[in-house]
A and B are shown apart, each in its own frame.
Chain A
Amino acid sequence: MPIILHFRRNVLRNRTRALVIVVMVGLTLGVFLVLSQVGNSIVAYTGEVEASVPNIITVQPANNFIGGGYFSLTIGAGSTTGLDANASAIVAATPNVVSVQRVFTQPLDLSSATSGATSGGSFTCGSASNPGVLGEDTTSQLKLVLGGLSGAGAVDVVEGRSLASSDENSTTALVSQAYATATGKGIGSNMDVNGTEFTVVGIFSQSCYTLIFPYPAAASALGITQASILYVVVNQYQNLATSLSSLQSRLGSSFNVQILANADRSSLQGAISAILLAANFGEYAALASGAGIVVVVFAMINSRRTKEFGLLKALGFGNAHILAEMLLESLVFTVVGLPVALAISYIAGPGLAQTILGGVGASTQLASPGSGGANVSARGGSNPFLQGIHFAPTLEVVLFGLAVTLILGLLGGLYPAVRALRLRPTEALRHE
C-alpha cells in the first residue's frame, strides 16, 4: 500500500512536525474535554436542583380565609373545611400526584386564647399557656413548614432532631424555642395534650409559641377530622397545570386549588435553562474553536508541503492518493493526540475547572419557595458545581473523545487536502 508506506515514512521522519501536531491536537482536545466535563457537571447539578424543587399545589377550603399572619388560623375548633379523609383520597388518586401532606393549624386551647386573638378568630403568636399547634404529615416528600401557608419558612431545628417519616404514627413533638424557654421543656420532656402524652424530640428556632405534632396523633388528641390545607406534590413541573385543572375538577368549587409560588418556580426554571444554555454554549464554543485551531494547524503545516504535493502529482500520484494520505495522516495524528488530551484533562482538569467555576460558591445553592431550599444532599462542600466533576478517563470519555477527534481530524485534513488538490503540479511546485 503506497499510501501507508509513504505516510509512515513521512510521519516517522518528520518527528518535529508530528510532535507539534500531536501536542496541538492534544491540547485542544484536552481543553475541550475539561470544558465538556465542567458543562456536564453543571448540567447534572442543575438537573439535581430542578428535580429537588417540589412541584406543589395547595388545596384549601373555598369558604375559609387562611393567611395574613405569621402563624395564621381561621378555623376554630369544630369548624369544617371539607379536607377530610375522602378529599385526601381523591387528591392522592389524581394522576401525577406523588404525595399529599395534610396540615392543620390550631391554637391548643382556643377558649382561653388571649394573645393576638381577634374577633375573626386569627391567632398571631400564641403564648406559653395558649400555643399554636401544627399537625403535619411527616411522610410526604415535603419538609415540615411553619404556619402551613404559602411563603412560610421551613422548620429550623436547633436542638434534638426534626420529625421524620418514621414519626408519622408516633406521639413525638417539636417545640419552638420560645415555648421551650417559657415552659422549661427540653429534649425528652413530656407534654399532655388532652390526655395524649407527647415527647419532645426537637426544639426549633421561633419566637412564637408553637408546637408541631405528627398529623394523626395531633388530630386524634385535638379531635381534628379535617385538614386546614393540603400540600400536593406533583411528579413534574410540566404537569402542574394539568394536575391543577384535574384536582379542581375532581374536588369541585368548594375548594381553592392553586399552584404554590408559581412565579418563583418559573423564575427558577428560567434560571436553570439559562445556566444549561451557557454550559452548552461553552462546550460547543470550545469544540468550534478547537476544530478551528486544528484546521489552522493542519493548514499551516500542510501549506509547507504544497511543493511536495506538486512533486507527487508530477510523478503521477493521483488526487485520490494524495487526499487519502492527508486524511489518513490527520486522522492518525488526532487519534494519537487523544491520549495526550486525556492526560491533559486528567492533570490540568481540576485546576482549570477551579478557575472556571471558582467564583461560584455556596451562594449557588438554589432555594425553592415554601420548601426551605433545594435539597441537593449529594452535593456538599462550598462549590456544588465542582463536587461532581471527575477527570479520570472513563470508557465513556475515551469514546466521546475518540468521536470528537475523528471529526476534528477529518475537518483538519479535508481543507488543506482539497486546497492542495486544486493546484496544478506546476503551481504547487513553485511554492517555497
Chain B
Amino acid sequence: MSEVLFKTEKLSKSYVSGRRTVNALEEIDLVIRRGEFVAITGHSGSGKTTLLNILACLDRGSSGKVLFDGVDVQKLGASELNRVRRDKVGFVFQSFNLLPYLSAKENVELPMEVGRLRKEKRTERSTDLLASVGLEGRGDHRPNQLSAGEQQRVAIARALANGPSAVLADEPTGNLDPDNKAAVISILRRLNIEQGMTVIMVTHDGDVAERSERIVRLAKGKIRSEGRGKFLRTERKET
C-alpha cells in the first residue's frame, strides 16, 4: 500500500452568497494515495471543484484538516501556500488559462521562471514537456494559433513544469471534442502509468470518470459513494 499524499479530515467549506450561507462541502473525509488516478464526479453544485481547489491549495476550507504530503496546508501562510502551488501541484484548468501573449513554450516555462530555473534548463525542459504531449515544433505558436486540444496539452505540459507531486485537473476535457478528449485522457493516464504521477481529475462526464482508477462521487457537498473505474492497476503493467 503506497503512502498517503492527500488526506482530508472533516473538511467543510461554506461561503455566504447574498443573504444565505452555502455549504459547499460538509465534513469530507478522503484519502488519496501517491500514484492514484482519481476522478471526482457529481452534478453541478455538488462541490467537486471546490474540493479540488482546496486540495490544490488554491482555496482554503472553512474547517477541518487538509493534509498534503503530511503537512496541514490549512495552517500554512500565503507565501508557504505559494511554494506548495509552485513546487508540488500542477493544475489543469477547463478553460486552459494560457496567457495569450506568450508562446506555448513560454507558457510552459512560466512556472519555472518563478522557480528560478536557469534559462537553458527552462528551454530544454519546456521542449521536452511539449514533446511529451505531442507538440514537437509548436513551441513558438501562440495559444490563438493552436486548437483547443493542443491548448489543453500545453496546459498539461505547464502543470508538469516544476515536477509536481500531483496533477489536479478541473474538467480537463470539458471544452474538447471526442478525439481531443481521448487524447488528453490518454496523456493523463500515461503520466500516471509511466511516471507514477498522482492524478486527481474533476469531471461530470461519466465516460471520462470511468477511465480513472477510482471514482469519488459527490452530491450536495458530501461523498455519496466511491467506486473503481475501468482503469485498473493491472492495466498499468500491461501498458
Instruction: Judge if B227 is at the interface, Cβ distance under 8 Å.
Output: no
In the complex, A307 has a CB within 8 A of chain B: yes
A315/B111 in contact, CB under 8 A: yes
Query: Which of A8-16, A384-392, A410-418 is found at the contact surface with chain B?
Result: A8-16
**Cα distance A311–B56 when bound, in Å?**
13
Query: Contact between A14 and B101 (Cβ–Cβ < 8 Å)?
Result: yes
Tally of A-B residue pairs with Cβ under 8 A?
Answer: 61
Quick one: closest B residue to A6, CB to CB? B113
Chain A 301-324 interface 0/1 with B at a Cβ cutoff of 8 Å (1 = within): 000000110011111111101000
Q: Nearest chain A CB to B178's CB is how many angstroms away?
A: 27
Q: A316-B86, A317-B82, A426-B59 are in contact. Are A307 and B97 (CB under 8 A)?
A: yes
User: Does any Cβ of B come within 8 Å of A424's Cβ?
Assistant: yes
CB of B230 to closest CB in A, whole Å: 31
Complex Cα–Cα for A354 and B85 (A): 59
* B59 surroundings in chain A (CB, below 8 A): 424-426
B106 and A319 contacting across the interface, CB-CB below 8 Å: no
B79 & A316 in contact (Cβ 8 Å cutoff): no
Q: Verify if B121 is at the interface (C-beta below 8 Å from A).
A: no
- Evaluate contact between A315 and B110: CB separation under 8 angstroms: yes
B229 CB, nearest partner CB in chain A, Å: 27
In the complex, chain A residues whose CB is within 8 Å of the CB of B110:
6, 312, 315
In the complex, B78 has a CB within 8 A of chain A: yes
With an 8 Å Cβ cutoff, the count of chain A residues facing the other chain is 23
Beta-carbon nearest neighbor of A13 in chain B: B101
Bound Cα distance from A10 to B78, whole angstroms: 25
Instruction: Determine the distance from Cα of A269 to Cα of B99 in the docked complex, in whole angstroms.
Output: 62
A263 CB–B CB distance under 8 Å: no
Given that A2-B116, A426-B53 are contacting pairs, would A318 and B82 also be in contact in the complex, using a CB cutoff of 8 Å?
yes
Expressed in whole angstroms, the Cα–Cα distance for A2 and B115 within the complex equals: 9
Q: Is A429 an interface residue (CB 8 A)?
A: yes
A5 at the interface (CB under 8 A from B): yes
Per-residue A-contact encoding for B43-56, CB less than 8 Å = 1, 0 else: 00000000001001
Contact flags (1/0) for B95-137 with A, using CB distance below 8 Å? 0010101100010001101111000000000000000000000
Residue of B with least CB distance to A307: B97
Interchain CB contact under 8 A, B82 and A313: yes
A316 touching B85 in the complex, CB below 8 Å, given contacts A6-B113, A311-B97: yes
A317 to B91, CA, bound (A): 14
Contacts of A317 in B (CB 8 A): 82, 86, 114
B84 CB to closest chain A CB (Å) equals 8
The verdict on B93 contacting chain A, using a C-beta distance below 8 Å, is yes
A319 to B37, CA, bound (A): 32
When C-beta atoms are compared, the residue in chain A nearest to B87 turns out to be A316
Chain B contacts of A314 at CB under 8 A? 56, 58, 85, 91, 97
Is B141 in contact with chain A by the CB < 8 A criterion?
Answer: no
Which of B78, B79, B101 interacts with A9 by CB under 8 Å? B101
Least distance between A66 CB and chain B CB atoms (Å): 86
Q: Which residues of A contact B78 (CB under 8 A)?
A: 318-319
- Sample (11) of A-B pairs whose CB atoms are under 8 Å apart: A9-B102, A13-B101, A311-B99, A312-B110, A315-B86, A316-B83, A316-B115, A316-B162, A318-B79, A321-B114, A429-B97
5 tightest CB-CB pairs across the interface, nearest first?
A316-B86, A13-B101, A2-B113, A316-B85, A425-B58
